[in-house]
Structure 1
Amino acid sequence: MPRGNSFYKLLFWACNTNSPEEFRVSRALKENTYPFLALIVLRQNRMTVVARIEGPIGPGELIEKLERILQDNEASLIAARAEREERDFTQTLRREKDAALLKSLKANKEKERKRREDQDKIDREKQRLVDEENKRKEMIQERERLKEELKIEIPEEPAVDDPDVVRIVLKLPHGSRTERRFLKNQSLKFLYYFAFCHEDCPDDFHVVTNFPRRTLPCEPSKNGPDPPSFEEAGLGKNEMLFVQDNEA
């Protein structure tokens, strides 16, 4: 067929109808004689018969009639093609817009997820700092409470002229000094208590001699016996001792 196009359909009946389907089509086309040729075109989304060729006809005449029918309906063909192209363009544009919208929604969702994630990290870090500060304050409060308890346990300072007196000068890590008298038969734990209660004393410390350098077993344990006495530790009547910061 010349200039064939999907908008046109040729329906040809070469004989009388036999089946119910053929009968219904025949009634719709209203053919009168055979052979019968119908040219159908899509108009306004409906199949429309635009020409009928009935009875015997030669090839040349048939082609001429078909050419003329196609020319007569060219406007409809162009309009249908333009409508289809516009519809395809609209659908493509809609798909592109939908894809762009979906991409934007995904990007916004990812941004929101990242924002919440960053905020969660900030909140966790703030909470960690708050917990650390609370823990530090609790440790300070506990240390102060313990100092008050240990101060009560330290025996009264003996007289200067007591024959069993031991004079201790403690040098603290930052250079300050403090002095205290004890009895030689008293446990070194009281020296530890005295140093611990001093405001310049570090939390973790040892008491050491200068020469020969040795660490005195001052710190008491909960379940063990008391540390030895000043006399058992080999300390004389006047001693210069040093508080060593174990975290320095």
Structure 2
Amino acid sequence: MVQEEWAFLASLEQEYGTNHPFFYVCRFMDALKMAQEEHKFIFLYLQSPEHQFTPFFCRETLGSELVVQFLDANFISWGALANRGEGFHLASTLRVSNFPFCAVVAPASAGNLAVLRQIEGPVSPAELVEILQRTMEEQGLAFDSARANEEEKRRADRKLREEQDVAYVTALQRDQEKEKLRSFASEQRVSKAASASNSSNQEKTKPLPLKQQNNQIKDGPRAGGAMHKGNAQETKILIRFPNGERREHSFLSTDKVQAIFRYINSLGLPGVGGNYRLISNFPRKVFSVDQMGMTLTEAGLHPKASMFLELL
């Protein structure tokens, strides 16, 4: 722990002893995260060591058993010296004009800070507890509502990801079934062609005239050449994984984007589950469920491309 984070607590206990609320020794942003996780407000105390009211407030108010128990049960307490480090920055941001200074704050969206109440000047233990209690009652409903909205948004995002996963798995299974049917049909054609060839070789027929034989020889290469030109071209895809590993694989330009996902899944790499997306670097494009049906040429990945796998 760096010295700056201990400065306030060391100063407080050196001057006024250890009878005080539990102040977390951490950065202020860490206190905000804790408050968000525990669904509590933050009791913020900025201390001015030289101020005339500081001794009274620390001994009589912060040292009161009533205040200690109330704060420890209901708040995340965090303190700092107002003349240095984070305490100085917060004092400037909150435009503190008098001490002792306390505030009730709450984490807001995007890491921002919501100031719900400011207390400047000396107050008794009963007055402080009353102010804090009233703030909790007045702001708690709005705070809970905002938290509920955030939770609902998280649930909606999670549901969307789950639906996308289901759609991806369904599309993958459908594609695999089609691939099986194509393979079966291809095997059947090869089998029939082989049977026909064997039957033809076994037949005894008269030799063809020399001219007809020459025509067949000439026609053969032309037919084969046309088939070769009709073949899809090779597409090379370089995939970079979050752990820095790289894999290159060749596909056909007519293959679908889904073929890349199938290849990645077949690797069985640790930490790479079904919830991810691919991002091409130049030009930058994101590939997920919606792009599964595109060919590599249509997706702009032919003749070669580099992609990054991003976990979701």
Larger helix percent: 2
Report the structure number with the largest CA radius of gyration.
1
TM-score (ref. length: structure 2): 0.40
